[in-house]
Amino acid sequence: MRDTRPPRVAAWLFDRLASGPNRESLCGDLAEQYRRGRSSAWYWRQAIGSILAGTARDITDHKLLALRAVTVGFASMWTFWGLASVPLRVIWVLSNGGLYVGGHWMTIDYSWMHYRGYLALLLIVVGSAGSGWIVARLHRDHQTAMVLAFLVTLILAAAAQLVIQVRLVGWPIRPMIHSAPTLIVLFVVTPISALVGGFWTDYGTRTTGARQNATF
Domain positions in the chain are: 8-61+205-212, 63-198
The dihedral sign for the CA sequence 201, 211, 61, 56: positive
Mean pLDDT of 99-127: 67
Q: Are 215 and 8 in contact (CB under 8 A)?
A: yes
pLDDT digits (tens, 9 = 90+) for 141-173: 899 999 999 999 999 998 887 777 777 666 555
What is the rounded CA–CA span in Å between residue 205 and residue 187?
A: 32
pLDDT digits (tens, 9 = 90+) for 173-185: 554 445 677 788 8
pLDDT value of residue 173: 53
> Is the predicted pLDDT of residue 216 greater than 50, yes or no?
no
Q: Model-level pTM greater than 0.85?
A: no
Instruction: Tell me, letter by letter, the H, E, C secondary structure of the chain.
Output: CCCCCCEHHHHHHHHHHCCCCCHHHHHHHHHHHHHCCCCHHHHHHHHHHHHHHHHHHHHHHCHHHHHHHHHHHHHHHHHHHHHHHHHHHHHHHHHCCCEEECCEEECCCHHHHHHHHHHHHHHHHHHHHHHHHHHHHHCHHHHHHHHHHHHHHHHHHHHHHHHHHHHHHCCCCCCHHHHHHHHHHHHHHHHHHHHHHHCCCCCCCCCCHHHHCCEC
pLDDT digits (tens, 9 = 90+) for 22-56: 888 898 999 999 999 899 999 999 999 999 999 99
pLDDT digits (tens, 9 = 90+) for 99-108: 555 655 555 5
Q: How confident is the model at residue 206 (pLDDT cuts 50, 70, 90)?
A: very low
pLDDT value of residue 104: 59
